[in-house]
Structure 1
């Protein structure tokens, strides 16, 4: 049971270590660019899922109208 709890969210010191490692690998200038790219990717993913949902809803409405 304790091993399951060990897989939870990182605590305070773990976040500090993660942030330091990211700063060392990417540098302070590169992090905003990475964050912008991640934001764009998330936005495109959300737009694509909305479009797919809209297409599914339209096709189900068309099928219901045919019946």
Structure 2
């Protein structure tokens, strides 16, 4: 796993490559991307649950 000093080295390398002023923008972009990803997972799970409920409902109606 990553230790604290590994993370510090990575941050230092990013700071040297992109500059200290760009790091907050990059962090914000990554944060927004992760948030969108999580939201899409929740929506996909909700849609799958609704679809499963419809399939179960259809199966119970066809047996009657």
Q: TM-score, normalised by structure 2?
A: 0.79
Question: How many residues of Structure 1 are paired with residues of Structure 2 in the alignment?
Answer: 59
Q: How far off is 1:13 after superposition?
A: 4.0
Runs of 4+ in 1 over 3 A off after TM superposition: 10-16
Once superposed, what is the RMSD of the aligned Cα atoms?
A: 1.4
> Which of 14, 36, 52 is 2:28 aligned to?
36
1:60 alignment counterpart? 52
Unaligned regions of 5+ residues in structure 2, if any?
60-64
Unaligned regions of 5+ residues in structure 1, if any?
1-8
Q: TM-score, normalised by structure 1?
A: 0.75
**Matches of 2:38 and 2:5 in 1, distance apart?**
32
